[in-house]
């Protein structure tokens, strides 16, 4: 019996306006939406400094387009998109807008100073969305989509249109919308499987149908945008490429609404590893995939599952004796990619007590961060303090130190000065805290609780007068070893769940980390500049026009 030929299915119908015309090669554009669709996932919200750092890392990774946010959603979103557009070079910087003048003008205001700006306009087209969300007829949807694209084109020459929930749209109506928006000037048409409903064959058929039957399709790049509700986002995106799409929308680590979006690292490595099958290239520097994945996970606190393809801790670990034996004889027995191709470090032990500034700076750059000299100095001081407490400083430890100083961290209006707890099997857990108030006065108080952490939270509540429900509390070991730092991430909900605020802190003492994380969230509540409130007023994608 002969083995099936894995190269038997060649790519079909590349989208005629695909960028091979520019490069001479059949290239797939990578559109990263970590900072927009990804940031919409619970627990993934980032501050301006964190977003800028991720955007720089994405540009360094070589993504074609960075969707930096949804500028109308909040002042914070707007400012982040504007800052990224002003600073980040190399990649196109894109802002999302619903199909109305206010959204589009605001998106343009945010991206206009980018080296390569793009406006991404979307409007739902499926009968479910038309009837229940938009309450619009087919004619009204086409009219609105065309008007939106025209307005965007008048401002920006690079305009993308997305028919939201394209996957559940009647095929003939989808063709009509796509034709109309290309006539109106859209240069990219993105075809979202918004609810992750389609099977790969169906998604490929939808793309192939548009390429074959929309007469002006050659004037636009066809793009995929797949969600992972059935675990098929990457498979569907790749099926779309096979059917001729030449842009893939994806996120680092696959973060995104609900089950997430297609994982960038998986799409890119599938295209590269199976070049024989797909016959297309991307411009991604694959050896930056692992550092960027780590950076995002560390900034958001969203852990990457151990067995996650490409960037999971176990992705290149060979445990069984038979596999190890095969690997020693020839790596290709059990390895289709080399860890170094995706930037997995050979060892992540980096620095110790005697390491100097230069070693620290080199490591910071290697990890993908861009720090000023002043920031390096502050991180170096923290590093020295940490190195007194623990012998070996790993990348993860360093990441925690760096992220404390990224951009517009929440001002520490309430500051923990000291902390004392008692706990054990036969004592009532108590906590005494000494806290500096925003007006400079130092206040002390004590409380009892179910355990020392509960007692601390109650004592902090008494001092600050901020009452909130603890919605989530996670402790994780930042690196390895018994002396590892513990990082606490928690979420406080105020006003009956209407607004939630994240707090995060790390220390070699997890009780201290808990107190600092709680105060960090209390400070965010006090600052009240969290975007949640604004989002509630304006809405998110999916909230209609």
Give the residues lining the site for ligand KIV (CB under 6 A): 37, 122, 162, 164, 190, 192, 194, 225, 227, 541
**Residue 165 sits in the site that holds Zn ion (CB under 5 A):** no
On whether the CB atoms of residues 248 and 214 are closer than 8 A, the answer is no
164 binds, among ligand KIV, Zn ion, none (CB under 5 to 8 A by kind): ligand KIV
Distances from the Cα of 425 to the Cα of 5, 142, 451, angstroms: 65, 68, 10
224 binds, among Zn ion, ligand KIV, none (CB under 5 to 8 A by kind): none
The continuous run of DSSP H or E covering 55 comes out as helix 48-61
Strand partners, 432: 420, 446
- Tell me the window of 31-39, 49-57, 174-182, 199-207 that interacts with Zn ion (CB under 5 A): 31-39
**Residue 37 sits in the site that holds Zn ion (CB under 5 A):** yes
162 binds, among Zn ion, ligand KIV, none (CB under 5 to 8 A by kind): ligand KIV
> What's the closest the beta carbon of residue 403 comes to ligand KIV, in angstroms?
27
Of 34 and 293, nearer to Zn ion (C-beta) is 34
**Residue 228 sits in the site that holds Zn ion (CB under 5 A):** no
> What's the closest the beta carbon of residue 253 comes to ligand KIV, in angstroms?
17
Of 53 and 103, nearer to ligand KIV (C-beta) is 103
The continuous run of DSSP H or E covering 139 comes out as helix 138-155
Sign of CA dihedral 26, 62, 114, 66: positive
The torsion angles phi and psi of 226, rounded to 5 degrees, stand at -120, 135
> What's the closest the beta carbon of residue 29 comes to ligand KIV, in angstroms?
15
Of 303 and 545, nearer to ligand KIV (C-beta) is 545
122 binds, among ligand KIV, Zn ion, none (CB under 5 to 8 A by kind): ligand KIV
Sign of CA dihedral 276, 280, 285, 291: negative
| Number of Cα atoms under 13 Å in the Cβ half of residue 142 | 14
Distances from the Cα of 373 to the Cα of 51, 201, 376, 380, 408, angstroms: 20, 52, 5, 10, 17
> What's the closest the beta carbon of residue 426 comes to ligand KIV, in angstroms?
55
> What's the closest the beta carbon of residue 354 comes to Zn ion, in angstroms?
48
> What's the closest the beta carbon of residue 164 comes to ligand KIV, in angstroms?
4
- Tell me the window of 36-44, 89-97, 326-334, 413-421 that interacts with Zn ion (CB under 5 A): 36-44
> What's the closest the beta carbon of residue 407 comes to ligand KIV, in angstroms?
25
Angle at 354 between CA 349 and CA 355, to 5 degrees: 60
Of 82 and 227, nearer to ligand KIV (C-beta) is 227
The torsion angles phi and psi of 161, rounded to 5 degrees, stand at -120, 140
Of 244 and 541, nearer to ligand KIV (C-beta) is 541
Of 194 and 421, nearer to ligand KIV (C-beta) is 194
The continuous run of DSSP H or E covering 421 comes out as strand 415-422
Q: Please name which of 235, 236, 237, 231 lies closest in space to residue 260, comparing C-alpha atoms.
A: 231
- Tell me the window of 37-45, 297-305, 371-379, 493-501 that interacts with Zn ion (CB under 5 A): 37-45
As a whole number of angstroms, the distance between CA 191 and CA 262 comes to 13
Of 56 and 227, nearer to ligand KIV (C-beta) is 227
Dig out the tokens for 504 from the structure: 């995060």
Of 98 and 390, nearer to ligand KIV (C-beta) is 98
**Residue 454 sits in the site that holds Zn ion (CB under 5 A):** no
As a whole number of angstroms, the distance between CA 294 and CA 253 comes to 9
> What's the closest the beta carbon of residue 51 comes to Zn ion, in angstroms?
18
DSSP reduced 3-state for 291: helix
- Which positions lie near Zn ion, rule CB under 5 A? 37
């Amino acid at each position: 019996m002969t083995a099936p030929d894995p190269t038997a299915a060649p790519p079909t119908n590349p989208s005629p306006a695909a960028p091979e015309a520019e490069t001479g090669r059949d290239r797939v554009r990578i559109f990263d939406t970590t900072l927009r669709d990804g940031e919409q996932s619970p627990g993934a919200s980032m501050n301006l400094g964190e977003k800028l750092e991720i955007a720089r890392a994405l540009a360094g990774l070589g993504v074609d387009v960075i969707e930096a946010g949804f500028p109308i959603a909040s002042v914070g979103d707007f400012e982040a998109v504007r800052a990224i557009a002003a600073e980040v070079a190399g990649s196109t910087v894109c802002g999302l807008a619903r199909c109305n003048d206010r959204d589009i003008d605001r998106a343009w205001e945010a991206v206009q100073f980018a080296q390569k700006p793009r406006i991404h306009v979307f409007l739902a087209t499926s009968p479910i969305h038309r009837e229940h969300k938009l309450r619009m007829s087919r004619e009204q949807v086409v009219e609105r989509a065309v008007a939106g694209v025209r307005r965007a084109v008048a401002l920006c020459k690079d305009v993308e249109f997305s028919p939201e929930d394209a996957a559940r749209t009647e095929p003939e109506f989808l063709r009509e919308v796509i034709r109309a928006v290309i006539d109106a000037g859209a240069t990219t048409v993105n075809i979202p499987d918004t609810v992750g409903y389609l099977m790969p064959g169906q998604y490929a058929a939808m793309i192939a149908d548009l390429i074959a039957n929309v007469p002006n399709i050659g004037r636009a790049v066809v793009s995929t945008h797949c969600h992972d509700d059935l675990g098929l986002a990457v498979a569907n995106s790749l099926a779309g490429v096979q059917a001729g799409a030449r842009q893939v929308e994806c996120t680092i680590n696959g973060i995104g609404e609900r089950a997430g979006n297609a994982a960038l690292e998986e799409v890119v490595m599938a295209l590269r590893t199976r070049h024989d099958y797909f016959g297309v290239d991307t411009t991604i520097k694959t050896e930056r995939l692992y550092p960027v994945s780590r950076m995002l996970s560390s900034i958001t606190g969203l852990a990457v599952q151990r067995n996650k393809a490409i960037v999971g801790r176990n992705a290149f670990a060979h445990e069984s004796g038979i596999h190890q034996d095969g690997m020693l004889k020839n790596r290709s027995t059990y390895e289709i990619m080399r860890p170094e191709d995706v930037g997995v470090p050979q060892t992540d032990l980096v620095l110790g007590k005697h390491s100097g500034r230069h070693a620290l700076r080199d490591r910071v750059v290697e990890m993908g961060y861009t720090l000023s000299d002043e920031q390096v100095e502050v991180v170096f001081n923290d590093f020295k303090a940490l190195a007194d407490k623990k012998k070996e400083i790993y990348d993860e430890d360093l990441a925690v130190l760096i992220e404390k100083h990224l951009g517009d961290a929440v001002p520490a209006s309430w500051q923990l000065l000291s902390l004392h707890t008692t706990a054990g099997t036969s004592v009532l857990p108590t906590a005494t805290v000494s806290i500096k108030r925003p007006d400079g006065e130092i206040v002390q108080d004590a409380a009892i609780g179910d355990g020392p952490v509960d007692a601390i939270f109650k004592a902090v509540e008494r001092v600050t007068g901020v009452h909130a429900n603890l919605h989530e509390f996670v402790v994780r070991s930042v690196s390895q070893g018994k002396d590892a730092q513990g990082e606490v991430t928690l979420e406080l909900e105020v006003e009956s769940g209407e607004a939630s605020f994240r707090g995060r802190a790390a220390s070699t003492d997890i009780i201290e980390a808990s107190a600092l994380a709680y105060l960090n969230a209390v400070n965010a509540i006090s600052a009240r500049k969290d975007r949640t409130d604004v989002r509630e007023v304006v809405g998110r994608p999916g909230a209609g026009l």
